[in-house]
Chain A
Amino acid sequence: MVNLALLRPEFVLSALALALLAADLLTPPGRGRALDWGALASCAATLALVIAGLACAGGHLGLGTLWAVDPFSQFLKIVILGSAILSLLLNLDYEGIPVRHAGSFSGLLLLCTVGMMFLVSAVDLLLLFVSLELVSLSSFVLTGYERASPKSNEGALKYFIFGAFAAAVMAFGISLFYGEARTTLLLSLGSPLGPLGLLGLLFILIGFGFKAAMVPMHFWVPDAYEGAPTPVTAFLSVAPKVAALGALARLLTALVPTRAADLTLLLSILCVLTMTVGNFVALFQRNVKRLLAYSSIAQAGYIMIGIVTADAMGTQGVLLYSFVYVAMNIGAFAMAIALAEDRRRYAAGDPYDLSAFDGLAGRSLPAALAMAFFLLSLAGIPPLAGFIGKFYLIGSAVGTRHYWLAVAAVVNSVVSVYYYMSIAYRMFFVARQREAPRRLSMGVSLYGSAALALAAVLALGVLPDRLVAWVQASAKFLP
Chain B
Amino acid sequence: MTLAHYLFLGSALFIVGIFGALTRRNVIGILMSVELMFNAANINLAAFNRFLAPAGVTGQAVALFIMTVAAAEVVVGLALVLMIYRARDTVYAEDINILRG
Residue numbers of A with Cβ under 8 A of B are 125-126, 129-130, 133, 137, 140-141, 144, 147, 150-151, 153-158, 160-161, 164-165, 167-169, 171-172, 174-176, 178-179, 182-184, 222-223, 226-227, 285-287, 290
> Cβ of B62 and Cβ of A126 under 8 Å apart?
yes
Q: Name which residue of chain A comes closest to B68, CB basis.
A: A130
Q: Please, what's the 1-or-0 string for B27-62, where 1 marks a CB less than 8 Å from any CB in chain A?
A: 100110010011011101100110011001011011
Interface pair A161/B30, CB less than 8 Å apart: yes
User: Interface size of B by Cβ–Cβ distance < 8 Å?
Assistant: 48
**Shortest distance between the CB of B38 and any CB in chain A (Å):** 5
B6 to chain A, nearest CB (A): 10
Do A172 and B41 touch (CB < 8 A)? yes
| Given A126-B61, A157-B96, A182-B52; A164-B31 close (CB under 8 Å) | yes
Pairs A–B under 8 Å by Cβ, sample size 6: A133-B69, A158-B99, A160-B76, A184-B62, A226-B99, A285-B101
In the complex, are the beta carbons of A154 and B96 less than 8 A apart?
A: yes
> Given the known A-B contacts A164-B31, A171-B37, are A141 and B88 also in contact in the complex, defined by CB atoms under 8 Å?
no
Known contacts being A151-B99, A153-B84, A168-B34, is A183 close to B58, with CB within 8 Å? yes
B96 → A minimal CB distance (Å): 5
Which residues from A are CB-within-8-Å of B99? 151, 154-155, 158, 222-223, 226-227
Q: Chain A: interface secondary structure?
A: helix
B83 within 8 Å of A by Cβ?
yes
Q: Quick one: given A129-B66, A178-B48, A222-B101, are A165 and B87 in contact (CB under 8 Å)?
A: no
Of all A-B residue pairs in the complex, the 8 with the closest CB atoms, nearest first, are A168-B37, A175-B44, A171-B41, A179-B48, A223-B99, A172-B41, A175-B41, A175-B45
The answer to whether A154 and B38 have CB atoms under 8 Å apart is: no
Point out which of B7, B73, B93 has the most chain A C-beta atoms below 10 A from its C-beta: B73
A158 to B40, CA, bound (A): 23
**What is the minimal beta-carbon distance from A201 to any residue of chain B, in angstroms?**
15
Q: How far is the CA of A144 from the CA of B97 in the complex (A)?
A: 15
**Residue in B37, B69, B73 whose CB lies within 8 Å of A169:** B37
Please name all residues of chain A whose beta carbon is closer than 8 Å to the beta carbon of B62 when the two chains form the complex.
125-126, 129, 174-175, 178, 184
Could you mark each residue 73-85 of chain B with 1 if its beta carbon is under 8 Å from any beta carbon of chain A, else 0?
A: 1001101110110
Q: B97 to chain A: which residues have CB within 8 Å?
A: 154
Contact A160/B80 with A130-B69, A167-B73, A168-B41 known, Cβ cut-off 8 Å:
yes
Instruction: Give, as a whole number of angstroms, the nearest-CB distance from B79 to chain A.
Output: 8
Q: How far is the CA of A140 from the CA of B80 in the complex (A)?
A: 9
B 14-37 binary contact with A (CB < 8 Å = 1; else 0): 100110010000010011001001
CB distance from A347 to the nearest CB of B (A): 20
Indicate if B65 sits at the interface (CB-CB under 8 A).
yes
Tell whether B98 is near chain A: CB-to-CB under 8 Å.
yes
Nearest-neighbour CB distance to chain A for B28, whole angstroms, equals 11
Q: Contact check, A164 vs B73: say whether CB atoms are below 8 A apart.
A: yes
Chain B min CB distance to A117 (Å): 18
Q: Shortest distance in angstroms between A142's beta carbon and chain B's nearest beta carbon?
A: 11
Q: Are the CB atoms of B38 and A168 closer together than 8 Å?
A: yes
Query: In the complex, what distance in Å separates the CA atom of A141 from the CA atom of B80?
Result: 8
